[in-house]
Amino acid sequence: MKKTYKIEVDCANCANKMEAAAKATEGVADCVVNFMALKMNVEFEENADPKGVMEKVLKNCKKVEDDCEIYL
């Protein structure tokens, strides 16, 4: 399953870091962060609960970049 979320982040490298952090999160099969459109496309693993996974993704992203936001 794929979902798109709006994000808020200031720098392009931070967006790359968020992408890496989201990819490493359990339940995420793949993730692309589009810095120019400020969007995050997340592909979830089968049987994953998007809501729970996204909370973890947000937590991991906050870890690498304090100033980011994902609008769940």
CA distances from 69 to 9, 13, 45, 57 (A): 7, 15, 22, 11
Each residue 40-69 as x (binds another protein by CB under 8 A) or -, in order, gives -x---------------------xx-xx--
Q: Are 42 and 51 in contact (CB under 8 A)?
A: no
Using the rule CB under 8 A, give the single segment among 9-17, 22-30, 44-52 that binds another protein: 9-17
Q: Is residue 27 within the footprint of another protein (CB under 8 A)?
A: no
Q: Is residue 12 within the footprint of another protein (CB under 8 A)?
A: yes
Q: Is residue 1 within the footprint of another protein (CB under 8 A)?
A: no
- Alpha-carbon radius of gyration of the chain: 11
